[in-house]
Structure 1
Amino acid sequence: MSEDNCIQSAMVDSLFDIFEELCEGAVSVDENARIVWINSKYLNLLGVADEDEVLGRDVQSVIPESMLAHVVETGQPILLDIMRFNNRHFVVSRLPLHNEDGVVIGAVGFVLYDSLDYLKPLISKFELLQQRLSSAEAKLAAARRTRYSIANIIGRSQHICDLKEQARAVARHTSPVLILGETGTGKELLAQSVHSASVRRHEPFVAVNLAAVPENLLEAEFFGVSPGAYTGADKRTGLGKFALANGGTLFLDEIGDMPLQLQAKLLRVLEEQEFEPVGSNAVQRVDVRIIAATSQDLEAKVRQGGFRSDLYYRLNVLLVAVPPLRERLDDIKPLSEYFLETIASRSGDALKVIDPDGLAVLESHNWPGNVRELKNTLERACLMCDSAGLSADGLRPFVPRGATAPVTAAAETGLSLPARIASIERQAISRALEMTGGKKAPAARILGISRSQLYDKIRDHRLYD
């Protein structure tokens, strides 16, 4: 025997002796899983007086839950396990034994502890790590769940009633959805509402704004990156939005800003339901519903060559148009009430109420920034106004001047008689308010009507001075 083999043999013998001394019992079996050796500690644990009672017997006939036969059969160790014997539980370790040719000739088992108390620190640490992992997974899942449902679409106008019906109808299908609407109309709120009403409501909702991601990072953002795809890439696989949204919904905001090269790859995912991560040749299957949104005229972009026609028609299966706020001024009151409650709750300040004059000011603005602009205007007014309510005088500094669209002669062309009369009345009221600096009582006297009538007409005509 060579010197190296002698050292190895001595090391094995020494380690075995130390291990046997430290553990609470040891037993070994042959290739047929019959007990060939058992130390006195194990005999005491089993309550056996003489080793002759167990030598030569099948190990499971002596220790019913022993896994040594499995170790002999597979040649794989079971480094740590809990084994029950009668009413006691042992922490055990099982190792295969090989001859010089590497053939399994038996196995040895050690009882590391005869009480689970020794494992409590390890178990406690494991449970703590498991709790942290579960908490992190729960937070991640919560971040990918929707915050809004169809009930969160606020308004009483016919436009909003129709929009809610559309959202419910679209949610019943799995085809792509294209949402059109100006900036600030609430396109993502509608997308979340559709998702939360669909069969995918318990799966992820992942949103990405294409206008906010640098063009050179968009492909990685969507499809992920395989390890080592490029210099500096993470050694771990980086998941893209499609992988994160698998089983759920992927919301693509400002789809009109997507580069043409990426449009072709998106079309392939929509058609084939598969993609390849950046730097990988492995195809990944995916089940994702696409909801896209844009404030741009996609048909015009298609004509100009800035957007693929095949992708446009693939996305435009279910079309939903969100009306601008200027077309549903009846919704300003419920929206304002909701925003004021939200602002008061967040700031801890008393709830501010808009009086009729203040509401008339809001309803006379054409709101180019739509619902987002209304929310920001109210928030600024709440922060800057010390009064308990929001009057016309309190709101005017925060609403842009010249917000109303004056009726011109060109606009009057073709109007019916009632419309012409309404136009003249509107101009008269505007002129009276301008002459009195916005004061309602003197303006009403100039017009020869009561103040309450003036309030009604201001609301009817959506104007202020």
Structure 2
Amino acid sequence: MKSLFERLEALCEGAIAVDRDANISWMNDKYARRFGLASATEAVGRPIEDVIPGSRMPEVVRTGAPIVLDIMVLAGQHCVVTRMPLVDEAGVLVGAVGFVLYDRVEGLKPLLDKVAQLQVRLTAAERELSESRRARYSLAAFLGVSAAAAEVKRLARRAASQDATVLLTGETGTGKELLAHAIHNLSPRAERPFVGVNAAAIPEALLEAELFGAAAGAYTGADRRGRDGKFKLADGGTLFLDEVGDMPLPLQAKLLRVLQEREIEPLGANRLLRIDVRVIAATSVDLAARVADGRFRADLYYRLNVLELAVPPLRSRLEDLPVLAEHILDDIGARTGQPLELDDDALLPLLRHRWPGNVRELRNVLERAVMVGEGSRLSAQQVMRALPAGPAPGREAEAPSSGEVASLRRVIADAERGAIQAALAATGGNKLAAAQALGISRAAFYQKLAQLGLG
């Protein structure tokens, strides 16, 4: 054996042997010097990974399979290496040997270039995937100067400081997804994945696999290697479940189990996987009403509704409309390369609209107004043409007579007065129910009543 090692030492650029525990049993001095050792005896008896971090020799010892040809980087230099298992006379695995065949790889340059290109592409793909699973918005993106907007931000900060499940409620287009991103970014999980899934946008037959994953061949057309679900992808971070009120009843039971047990069972699998995921759910429907009529599980509702954050509709925070319109026009202008702004009187038709589609509808209206108009200033006529045809429901504020210009404060007050009167009428004068319908707290509702002389 000594003669064999001496011959190999003369033929190669480095040689090493390990025992069955992957501890170094022999090493030539030439190889030892590569790792800053004065002699090979300093390495004998040490785990190989202490001397050569990332070595694959333990893999050879564990599996008994050779790695005939490999490229390893030593001190920034590519080397061609081979690793072989060692067996005794009885065929029992006793260790492994490795050799650096040569460190001049010019002949392998085309192959190494190809490997380098693939590595760059892999790194870029991993970076892109990582970015796609990061929250995009901060709390600063929820624009508003109203008391209602300030209350939403206060509750969002409170939710971010805790690790409990959050339920975001409110009409479509109010900014629930934005707030979910912001809560994640303010939380201790900010550096971990943020994964979103819309329960209403995925067919019921595929939703279980989308959420919990699927084993190989779990269903016709399934990936032969299986696939990870959104819960697994969000492990350590946050899962945003949008439109959770539209989830089918059978899946509601499985979601409840995940929230309680912190375990998922992929479709077609017979194993449970432990996960650590914070859930933020959102809905634009009345979950309590769905519980009452049997379309949503009561136990799941209580499990999701640990921290509820009601996002108010745009019509109940019209003070925020000017700053929202300005931000949206800045965004459109950045995309079109043309600065945009509203004429002084162009805000009035916006303030009189009821905004059933909320901030999302506001963006749509302003984009249409930009398309139908010319120049960088949007007039009241352009805005009115972009608004939905016919009178918007709840447009109680009276238009100023010809030549009269109403103050912004008056228009906002008139619009709020109309919204509150409509809510009280719809709820039979029940102030708590009216406040809930408007998406504001009871305290804020009573404050508005006093300010507007409706108390």
Closer/same/farther in 2, CA of residues 402 and 129 from structure 1, 3 Å limit: same
One of 213, 220, 235 as aligned partner of 2:202: 213
Task: Please tell me whether residue 392 in structure 1 is matched to residue 380 in structure 2.
Answer: yes
One of 308, 312, 322 as aligned partner of 2:311: 322
Quote the offset at 1:186 in angstroms. 0.9
Task: Please tell me whether residue 339 in structure 1 is matched to residue 323 in structure 2.
Answer: no
Task: Please tell me whether residue 241 in structure 1 is matched to residue 230 in structure 2.
Answer: yes
| 1:289 alignment counterpart | 278
- Give the residue type in structure 2 aligned to 1:35: S
| 1:365 alignment counterpart | 353
Distance 2:96 2:267 in 1: 47
Closer/same/farther in 2, CA of residues 100 and 185 from structure 1, 3 Å limit: same
Greater Rg by CA:
1
- Give the residue type in structure 2 aligned to 1:370: N
Closer/same/farther in 2, CA of residues 314 and 277 from structure 1, 3 Å limit: same
1:165-202 residue CA offsets vs partner (Å, 9 max, x unmatched) = 11101100111000110011111011111111101111
Distance 2:11 2:216 in 1: 54
- Give the residue type in structure 2 aligned to 1:461: D
Distance 2:97 2:68 in 1: 11
| 1:113 alignment counterpart | 102
| 1:264 alignment counterpart | 253
Distance 1:226 1:193 in 2: 33
User: Which ranges of structure 2 fall in alignment gaps of 5 or more residues?
Assistant: 14-24, 33-39, 49-56, 417-455
Aligned residues: 380
8 A contact 1:246–1:286 mirrored in 2: yes
Distance 1:107 1:121 in 2: 30
Distance 2:208 2:360 in 1: 30
Closer/same/farther in 2, CA of residues 461 and 145 from structure 1, 3 Å limit: same
- Give the residue type in structure 2 aligned to 1:151: A
Closer/same/farther in 2, CA of residues 80 and 186 from structure 1, 3 Å limit: same
| 2:414 alignment counterpart | 461
8 A contact 1:171–1:198 mirrored in 2: yes
Distance 1:352 1:251 in 2: 34
8 A contact 1:246–1:287 mirrored in 2: yes
Task: Please tell me whether residue 252 in structure 1 is matched to residue 241 in structure 2.
Answer: yes
Distance 1:118 1:253 in 2: 55
| 2:175 alignment counterpart | 186
Task: Please tell me whether residue 195 in structure 1 is matched to residue 148 in structure 2.
Answer: no
Task: Please tell me whether residue 142 in structure 1 is matched to residue 110 in structure 2.
Answer: no
One of 293, 299, 315 as aligned partner of 1:310: 299
Distance 1:353 1:68 in 2: 76
Distance 2:315 2:95 in 1: 84
| 1:419 alignment counterpart | none
TM-score by length of 2: 0.75
Closer/same/farther in 2, CA of residues 127 and 397 from structure 1, 3 Å limit: same
Distance 1:84 1:340 in 2: 53
Quote the offset at 1:159 in angstroms. 0.4
Closer/same/farther in 2, CA of residues 117 and 294 from structure 1, 3 Å limit: same
The sequence identity of aligned pairs, in percent, is: 49
One of 333, 345, 355 as aligned partner of 2:343: 355
Quote the offset at 1:352 in angstroms. 2.2
Closer/same/farther in 2, CA of residues 89 and 68 from structure 1, 3 Å limit: farther
Distance 2:283 2:127 in 1: 31
| 2:159 alignment counterpart | 170
- Give the residue type in structure 2 aligned to 1:304: D
Q: Secondary structure of 1:212's match? A: coil
Closer/same/farther in 2, CA of residues 382 and 108 from structure 1, 3 Å limit: closer
Closer/same/farther in 2, CA of residues 92 and 170 from structure 1, 3 Å limit: closer
TM-score by length of 1: 0.73
Quote the offset at 1:394 in angstroms. 1.6
Quote the offset at 1:115 in angstroms. 2.3
Closer/same/farther in 2, CA of residues 145 and 455 from structure 1, 3 Å limit: closer
- Give the residue type in structure 2 aligned to 1:369: G
8 A contact 1:357–1:455 mirrored in 2: no
